[in-house]
Chains A and B, each alone.
Chain A
Amino acid sequence: MEIFSIILYIILAPVAGGIIAGADRIITARMQSRVGPPIMQPFYDVLKLFSKQNLVVNRFHVDYVLCFLIFTVISGGIFFGGGNLLLCIFALIVANVFLVLAAYCSNSPYTLIGAERELLQMLAAEPMLLLTAVALYNVTGTFDISDMLKTTHTPFLYIPGVFVALSYVLTIKLRKSPFDLSTSHHAHQELVKGLTTEMAGPSLGFFELAHWYETILLLGLIYLFFANMPIVGIIVALAIYFVEILIDNINARIKWELMLKSAWIVTLILGVGNLFVLYFLSL
């Protein structure tokens, strides 16, 4: 593991994540024929949140949110430090579990339903994330990200199905419509703000920060499909994010059943199917 790149990730990821979030808001505004906020707006928002009163429902709530942030950073650290991809995804799951626990701990009906929906989102999305790791292993022969980057062939050419399925599931992980069941970045929803309802001031700031770290990590996952072509990889990662924004803007929220079913079907057909094809071709 390289300490240097981990430190770089910890410092740069929120900057990049914030700028991506800002660009996201501008692009979204343009798609709705609005002007939109300045690109630095997400930073203003988060800095404002940290200057606000620390309003809590009980004293454990902030701790769980903080753990969510810490484990997201650990997960990203494992990823960008070139560690084990499986461990990285498991750390991300731990982070997510802490977020759900934060919601449970607050004892408020809206966050509780948000927590339950977040669990459903995890149920829908986690299989594909782990399957991506397995698929990348099948192509590159290693779970270590540092070794994956040394690969000479393009994983995407072997596992395009996995790539598409991951992009589908990415919508869930990025909390974008139509899969923003547990909480959303936009105004009102039927659950107020879902599992972030009880987060106020600094704790919401931690949540936003963690989300930026997460976004960068997930885009990094996309990048791995083009590990041997750095520039193409970055372009594709950004293009995928643009597609996510587009999907976000042209879809209304759907019910959990459709989310779960569709995500699993996509995972099974495109993800697992791709693995089988790969297996039989290599026989």
Chain B
Amino acid sequence: MGFLKKSPWILHYDGSSCNGCDIEVLAALMPKYDVERFGIINTGNPKHADVFLITGSVNEQNIQVIKNIYNQMGEPKVVVAVGICACTGHFFAECYNIYGGVDKAIPVDVYVPGCAARPEVIIDAVIKGLAVLEEKQKNMKKNA
């Protein structure tokens, strides 16, 4: 069943960041890159989404939010950390209120480095996430 691969719906969350990656994610959704070609849709709702796209690092305020949203996504799901802040915390890492990368809150499947990450790379990362998604679906079936 390869339909998951053909219709990955993403949910975009912006943590503690300079909003650079945020804008690049949106750029990917715009006509120039047009990710809808691949069936990718930006949903505003974890319950509909398959791919959780996070930009920015995790801090005291948003750690619970990220966990909540992650828990409200239906399996199979994939987390993509976009930009170096989401990967490690980058130059926010030393701040008093920052935990670090997204993996401090939830398990991350694909890391996208870059400051800011370019739209092409983001699309690439989502495509890469799809492989993980299929893997997870297979496991789900096996366990069921």
Do A's and B's CB atoms come within 8 Å in the complex? Answer: yes
Binding site for B on A (CB under 8 A): 25, 29, 32-38, 41, 44-45, 47-48, 51-55, 187-189, 192-193, 196-201, 204
Report B-chain residues with C-beta under 8 Å of the C-beta of A197: 45, 47
List 11 contacting pairs A-B, 8 Å CB cutoff, sorted by A: A34-B34, A38-B39, A44-B3, A48-B6, A52-B75, A52-B76, A53-B76, A55-B47, A192-B44, A197-B45, A198-B47
Interface size class of B (residues with CB under 8 A): 20 to 34
Report B-chain residues with C-beta under 8 Å of the C-beta of A45: 3, 7, 9, 39
With contact pairs A41-B39, A44-B39, A188-B44 given, residues A34 and B31 touching in the complex (Cβ less than 8 Å): yes
With contact pairs A52-B75, A192-B44, A193-B43 given, residues A29 and B34 touching in the complex (Cβ less than 8 Å): yes
Q: Is the CB of B6 within 8 A of A33?
A: no
20 further interface pairs, Cβ-Cβ under 8 Å (given A36-B34, A48-B7, A201-B74):
A34-B31, A34-B37, A36-B36, A37-B37, A37-B39, A44-B7, A51-B3, A52-B75, A52-B76, A53-B140, A55-B72, A188-B42, A193-B45, A197-B45, A197-B47, A199-B48, A200-B47, A200-B48, A204-B47, A204-B48
Docked Cα-Cα span, A25 to B36, in Å, equals 9
**Cβ distance B78 to chain A, nearest Cβ, rounded Å:** 13
Among B39, B43, B74, contact of A52 (Cβ-Cβ < 8 Å): B74
**Cβ distance A95 to chain B, nearest Cβ, rounded Å:** 22
Q: Which residue of B lies closest to A198 (CB)?
A: B47
Docked Cα-Cα span, A47 to B140, in Å, equals 17
Q: Which residue of A lies closest to B47 (CB)?
A: A200
**Cβ distance B133 to chain A, nearest Cβ, rounded Å:** 10
Q: Is the CB of B47 within 8 A of A48?
A: no
Q: Is the CB of A35 within 8 A of B47?
A: no
Inter-chain residue pair count (beta carbon < 8 A): 80
Q: Which residue of B lies closest to A47 (CB)?
A: B3
Q: Which residue of B lies closest to A186 (CB)?
A: B41
Report A-chain residues with C-beta under 8 Å of the C-beta of B75: 52-53
Q: Is the CB of B44 within 8 A of A34?
A: no
**Cβ distance A127 to chain B, nearest Cβ, rounded Å:** 32
Q: Output the residue of A25, A37, A38, A54 with the most chain B CB within 10 A.
A: A37
Docked Cα-Cα span, A52 to B76, in Å, equals 7
**Residues 89-138 of B at the A interface (beta carbon under 8 Å):** 137
**Cβ distance B16 to chain A, nearest Cβ, rounded Å:** 21
**Cβ distance B38 to chain A, nearest Cβ, rounded Å:** 8
Q: Is the CB of A187 within 8 A of B137?
A: no
Residue-wise interface mask of B (3-22) relative to A, using a CB-CB cutoff of 8 A (1 in contact, 0 not)? 11011010000000000000
Q: Is the CB of A32 within 8 A of B31?
A: yes
Docked Cα-Cα span, A32 to B33, in Å, equals 12
Q: Which residue of B lies closest to A55 (CB)?
A: B74
Report A-chain residues with C-beta under 8 Å of the C-beta of B9: 45
Docked Cα-Cα span, A192 to B46, in Å, equals 10
**Cβ distance A278 to chain B, nearest Cβ, rounded Å:** 45
Docked Cα-Cα span, A31 to B48, in Å, equals 26
Q: Is the CB of A51 within 8 A of B1?
A: yes
Report A-chain residues with C-beta under 8 Å of the C-beta of B76: 52-53
Report B-chain residues with C-beta under 8 Å of the C-beta of A55: 47, 72, 74
Docked Cα-Cα span, A196 to B1, in Å, equals 25
**Cβ distance A199 to chain B, nearest Cβ, rounded Å:** 7
Q: Which residue of A lies closest to B72 (CB)?
A: A55
Docked Cα-Cα span, A201 to B72, in Å, equals 12
Report B-chain residues with C-beta under 8 Å of the C-beta of A33: 31
**Cβ distance B41 to chain A, nearest Cβ, rounded Å:** 7
Report A-chain residues with C-beta under 8 Å of the C-beta of B45: 192-193, 197
Q: Which residue of B lies closest to A54 (CB)?
A: B74
Report A-chain residues with C-beta under 8 Å of the C-beta of B42: 187-188
Q: Is the CB of B36 within 8 A of A187?
A: no
Report B-chain residues with C-beta under 8 Å of the C-beta of A54: 74
Q: Is the CB of A35 within 8 A of B7?
A: no
Docked Cα-Cα span, A187 to B7, in Å, equals 14
**Cβ distance A275 to chain B, nearest Cβ, rounded Å:** 43
